[in-house]
Chains A and B, each alone.
Chain A
């Protein structure tokens, strides 16, 4: 796409080797291919997660109790709504209603922002209870672990609510053999490693999607689109739908499945 100054609002850009119709179809094909690559990217994580969940069903279930399904459900609703407004924006663009496009896309981006804020709350809560990559464990004293035999979400928590089975205390000399065994076998690190990879990568794509749609929105504010040219809106919305779709798979997998 050429710069705004060189194009006529409502007219498609004209790279010297494309006709406008062909360019539209070509761009769409390109975007679909790109979406395929994104799906393959995430499928590696889904595969790894599925395999380990099958191997460590109990441990993964216990670990997943640390996730708040209500927040997850809120995020799901927010994203689905935002996908709906993105689709409406495409429709508006096809009718040349740039003002509506701008409003709808702003709303979509805002929903993305809400999603990220909720995610921030989830992550920071986990940071405080020590379920975060790189977080250091407090020094453990003998007997400081509660309920070392039983399981159930967050049962093995030190003073101050730190999840030792994730952060691995630096000094394990105060722990019994059974407690050390529990640290290895709880598989918290594996579960949460995959959790952060999957949700983190997804959040990164949400940010990219928001930037993309903001840029399209900017063009809409310049009355760029018309029934003759709405390709960027459609492609941006396609990307956003993918972002939503991936979350729709992530949410039940991580938060809901028993």
Chain B
């Protein structure tokens, strides 16, 4: 497949196609919808991040500083709920996925463009409900465990209602993407020629569609329970709080794969481009994505190994959890092998991708501790878990999102960002993140439990270190985002269609793309990683 790096550029593109406010609000263009999601979720990232910084300021020293226990409990609930439901679950799929999926498969739009817009507005409604719950605060933790969530005076119904509404948005987007990949691939785009980012989005979409209804119904049951006192989760009436945990985690484990599978896809796109080499083991990487999606449905109770489940169940869930670790490891090995004998550039997206490899090695290996039954007994509900999931979600999914934002920035905006400033931001983010969360592994080792407003004085040193890291981390993200925003608004340099000489289809159109994506429907004859000089026995 040849890529036309001399794609004709005309001044009409999807951004100036129509410029009224109404044209944006009523758009069914997947690119515009992706942008609208991007701005909205970034706003919520900032809100959730401020909640985190406030918590870390309080936790910097032992004893009550400026928060009351109630306020702290509300903050960690909001931080979790906003970051998860409003930011990282829509995350890469709703933003970059919406923008790129049709472009990468050579289509003009997603399968159901109006449904896409509806998804966005459902998200907005859910987001407003969640914001309103901010004013009537909630303090159950984002996991809403019964019986506490049934007894507390706070706004449980509002927040769970918001999550229920947001779930619809997720389901409809997932459904849309699955049908898009099945039905709208351009001529020649067989399944084994899809970019890995598309494979990642596809696997994610399957999970979104199938898992989200379960949490929707579970939260609805919680609302009914609180409102009508039915008794299904209330031990005083013969109900079982552990049933709530099972139903909750049946979705909430697959949801972490919704968060991270697209990020894996992003890394799989970036490394080959900046190594000028094919993605090593492309087929294995694709199978691994699907395997993670499927096995991810089977492991949910590893969040409940000490919750009073039977020993047999605990053993099963521990063993099967190792089963989901293997495909992830395979992916990492393949990414690194891609760099062998490559021609490596260190543009910002590549720095984020390499950072991702380091951060995810830590994330994955610390997951092994938690999968191991005897060790999980010690680590469950301690700071070790907090550090582990921040490495997977933030070090994984968020870094993936930022990498994607930098990599596809020229395509989305038609401009180039300031490279040296972006690199500085990367260093701040990377250092800040590790400084925040590496000490938390040690805190967990020392036995410090999580969701603690106050703690014994011996834990103070590490907490203080973690709080310094949080400031650096926050500053780094701010710097990175301002750099991108500034470039979009102020930069005068027109980006070429394919600044990085990538072989995938989205680069085979101008930057930014025209409203219809392509001048003519493209067709492909090879997969998008055919970099380098052919060797004997090549071909995938």
Contacts and interface: CB of A to CB of B under 8 A. Distances in A.
A200 to B, nearest CB: 10
B415 interface: no
Contacts of A16: 108-109, 516
Given A26-B111, A44-B218, A187-B238, A134 B179 contact: no
B255 to A, nearest CB: 14
A52 interface: yes
Contacts of B109: 16-17
B445 interface: no
Nearest to B102: A17
Interface in A86-139: 133-134
Contacts of B12: none
Nearest to B205: A33
A29 B112 CA distance: 12
Interface residues of A, number: 36
A56 B216 CA distance: 26
A51 B243 contact: yes
A37 B175 contact: yes
B224 interface: yes
A133 B247 CA distance: 24
A74 B195 CA distance: 54
A57 interface: no
B215 to A, nearest CB: 9
B179 A193 contact: no
A134 B176 CA distance: 39
Contacts of A55: 238
Contacts of A218: none
Given A17-B109, A41-B213, A48-B243, A193 B224 contact: yes
Given A30-B175, A194-B230, A56 B183 contact: no
Contact of A40 (B176, B214, B237): B214
Contact of A189 (B178, B184, B211, B230): B230
B216 to A, nearest CB: 6
A52 B182 CA distance: 40
Interface string A177-191: 000000011010110
Contacts of B221: 44-45, 48, 197
A47 B159 CA distance: 24
A25 B183 contact: yes
Contact of A26 (B171, B179, B212, B216): B179
Interface string B236-252: 11111001000100000
Most buried by A among B108, B179, B211: B179
A190 B217 contact: no
A193 B232 contact: yes
Interface in A186-224: 187, 189-190, 193-194, 197
A119 B221 CA distance: 22
Given A26-B111, A26-B184, A37 B231 contact: no
Contacts of A56: 238
A22 interface: yes
B319 interface: no
B228 interface: yes
A38 interface: yes
B246 to A, nearest CB: 9
A48 B179 contact: no
A190 B171 contact: no
B208 to A, nearest CB: 10
A33 B174 CA distance: 9
B183 A29 contact: yes
A194 B239 CA distance: 12
Contacts of A25: 183
B237 A189 contact: yes
B210 interface: yes
Contact of A193 (B171, B216, B230): B230
B188 interface: no
B229 interface: yes
B175 A193 contact: no
A44 B107 contact: no
Given A22-B183, A33-B175, A190 B112 contact: no
Interface in B191-234: 209-214, 216-218, 221, 224-225, 228-232
B210 A37 contact: yes
A237 B175 CA distance: 19
Given A26-B183, A37-B210, A44-B214, A189 B231 contact: yes
B209 A37 contact: yes
B228 A30 contact: no
A40 B212 CA distance: 9
Contacts of A190: 230-232, 237-239
A194 to B, nearest CB: 7
Given A51-B243, A190-B237, A26 B182 contact: yes
Nearest to B178: A33
A84 interface: no
Interface string B297-327: 0000000000000000000000000000000
With most chain A CB atoms within 10 A of its CB, the pick from B184, B212, B217, B224 is B217
Contacts of B213: 37-38, 40-41, 44
Interface string A29-43: 110011011101111
Give 4 nearest A-B pairs by CB, closest first.
A193-B230, A17-B108, A44-B217, A26-B183
7 contacts: A26-B182, A36-B209, A37-B209, A41-B216, A45-B221, A189-B230, A190-B238
Given A25-B183, A37-B210, A197-B230, 20 more contacts: A17-B109, A17-B184, A22-B184, A29-B183, A30-B111, A33-B178, A40-B210, A40-B214, A42-B217, A44-B217, A44-B218, A44-B221, A45-B221, A51-B240, A52-B239, A134-B228, A184-B237, A189-B237, A190-B237, A193-B228
Interface of A: 15-18, 22, 25-26, 29-30, 33-34, 36-38, 40-45, 47-48, 51-52, 55-56, 133-134, 184-185, 187, 189-190, 193-194, 197
